[in-house]
C-alpha cells in the first residue's frame, strides 16, 4: 500500500487549558491526504481538544502543528479553517443562523469571499449534502437531526477544507440514520477526496468505516494504525476501556481455530468460517 501524501504533521504537541488541565501530552501524528481515520478513546482522553488544535481553534501550548505546510501558531484562523473543518458533536451547538442558506454562507462570508463566490459555494455544499432547495429559507431547527447535521457539514464544506473532522456523527441517530450519515462521509472521502476524521465511541461504526484508528488515553496516543491491527491489541485497548466490536471479540475468542483476531465485519467472519469449515 502506498503511503498517503502527508497533509497534517503534529510534532510533540502539548495543550493545556487556561485552568491548567493538561489535555494533550506529547502528541506526534501525521495525517495524509485521502485518509479515513477514527479517533477513539474514553471520555476526557483528548479527542476533541486534539481536533480543535488541528483546525487552529486552539494554539499549541508547546510543539507544532503544520497543516499544508502552514504552522498553526502563526497562521490566521481564517486560513486554517479553509484547510481543516470541524463539525461539532451536536449540530445545535454549531447552527445559529435563522435559515439554512445563511448558515452555510456564514463561513465563506466570514473569510470575505465575493457574494457571487459565496452563492456558488452554498449551492455546491447544499447539493453535496442533499439539502433540497425548498429548505434553503427554512430555519435549521425545523429540520430533522440528521438534516441539521447535514447543514452543519455543508457549512463546513462551503469552506472547501481538505480535511473534515466530524465529532460523534452518529450520536442520537438510529441505525439507519447512522449508516446514512457514515455512507455520506465515505462518499466525501472516496468521491471528493476529502480526508475524513470521525470521533466515535461506536466501535462497529469505526470498524466498518475507518481505515485507520488513533486510540487515545489520558491525552496521549496509545495506538495508531490500520483498524484491524488496532482492534487486535486488546490488552492496550482494555487500559482505556475500549472494547473492540463484538464480532472482533468473537473472532479473538476463537482465533486458535484459525480466525483472524483483527476481524472487523460479520461478512469477513462468515467468509473465514466457510474457508475453515471447507478444510474440515
Ligand atoms: N474548557 C476546558 N477547560 C478545562 N479543561 C477542559 C476543557 N475542555 C476539556 N477539558 C479537559 O481536557 C481533557 C480532554 O478533554 P476532551 O474534551 O478533549 O476529551 P474527549 O476525548 O474529546 O472527551 P469526550 O469523548 O467526552 O468528548 C479532559 O480532562 C477534560 O476534562
48 CA distance to ligand 1 centroid (A)? Answer: 7
The cell for 122 is 452554498
Q: What is the ipTM of this complex?
A: 0.98
Confidence check: pLDDT of 95 > 80: no
d(CA 91, CA 166): 10
| pLDDT tens digits along 210-258 | 999 999 999 999 999 999 999 999 888 888 888 899 999 999 999 999 9
pTM: predicted TM-score of the whole model, two decimal places: 0.90
d(CA 140, CA 266): 37
23 CA distance to ligand 1 centroid (A)? Answer: 7
86 CA distance to ligand 1 centroid (A)? Answer: 16
| pLDDT tens digits along 181-218 | 889 899 889 988 999 999 999 999 999 999 999 999 99
d(CA 196, CA 164): 5
Minimum-distance ligand 1 atom for the alpha carbon of 89: 27
Q: Is 162 helix (H, G, I), strand (E, B) or coil?
A: coil
135 CA distance to ligand 1 centroid (A)? Answer: 35
Domains, the chain, ranges and CATH? 6-241 (3.40.50.300), 245-280 (no CATH)
Q: What is the mean pLDDT of the chain?
A: 90
- Ligand 1 site-directed mutation target among 14, 15, 21, 54, most atoms within 8 Å of CB: 21
Q: Is 95 helix (H, G, I), strand (E, B) or coil?
A: coil
Q: Which residues are near ligand 1 (CB < 6 Å)? A: 17, 19, 21, 23, 41, 43-49
Amino acid at each position: 500500500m502506498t503511503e498517503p501524501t502527508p497533509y497534517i504533521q503534529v510534532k510533540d504537541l502539548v495543550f493545556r487549558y487556561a485552568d491548567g488541565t493538561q489535555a494533550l501530552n506529547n502528541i506526534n501524528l501525521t495525517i495524509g491526504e485521502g485518509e479515513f481515520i477514527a479517533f477513539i478513546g474514553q471520555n476526557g482522553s483528548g479527542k476533541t481538544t486534539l481536533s480543535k488544535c488541528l483546525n487552529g481553534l486552539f494554539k499549541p501550548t508547546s510543539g507544532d502543528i503544520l497543516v499544508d505546510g502552514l504552522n498553526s501558531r502563526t497562521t490566521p484562523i481564517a486560513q486554517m479553517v479553509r484547510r481543516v473543518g470541524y463539525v461539532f458533536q451536536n449540530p445545535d451547538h454549531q447552527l445559529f443562523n435563522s435559515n439554512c442558506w445563511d448558515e452555510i454562507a456564514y463561513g465563506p462570508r466570514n473569510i470575505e469571499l465575493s457574494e457571487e463566490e459565496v452563492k456558488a459555494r452554498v449551492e455546491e455544499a447544499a447539493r453535496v449534502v442533499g439539502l433540497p432547495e425548498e429548505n434553503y429559507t427554512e430555519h435549521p431547527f425545523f429540520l430533522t437531526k440528521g438534516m441539521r447535521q447535514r447543514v452543519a457539514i455543508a457549512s463546513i464544506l462551503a469552506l472547501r477544507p481538505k480535511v473534515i473532522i466530524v465529532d460523534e456523527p452518529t450520536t442520537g441517530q438510529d441505525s439507519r440514520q447512522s449508516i446514512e450519515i457514515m455512507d455520506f462521509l465515505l462518499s466525501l472521502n472516496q468521491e471528493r477526496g476529502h480526508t475524513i476524521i470521525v470521533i466515535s465511541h461506536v466501535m462497529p461504526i469505526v470498524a466498518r468505516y475507518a481505515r485507520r484508528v488513533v486510540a487515545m488515553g489520558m491525552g496521549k496516543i496509545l495506538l495508531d494504525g490500520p483498524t484491524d491491527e488496532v482492534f487486535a491489541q486488546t490488552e492496550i485497548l482494555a487500559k482505556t476501556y475500549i472494547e473492540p466490536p463484538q464480532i472482533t471479540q468473537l473472532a479473538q475468542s476463537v482465533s486458535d481455530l484459525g480466525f483472524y483476531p483483527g476481524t472487523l465485519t460479520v461478512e469477513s467472519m462468515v467468509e473465514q468460517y466457510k474457508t475453515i469449515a471447507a478444510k474440515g
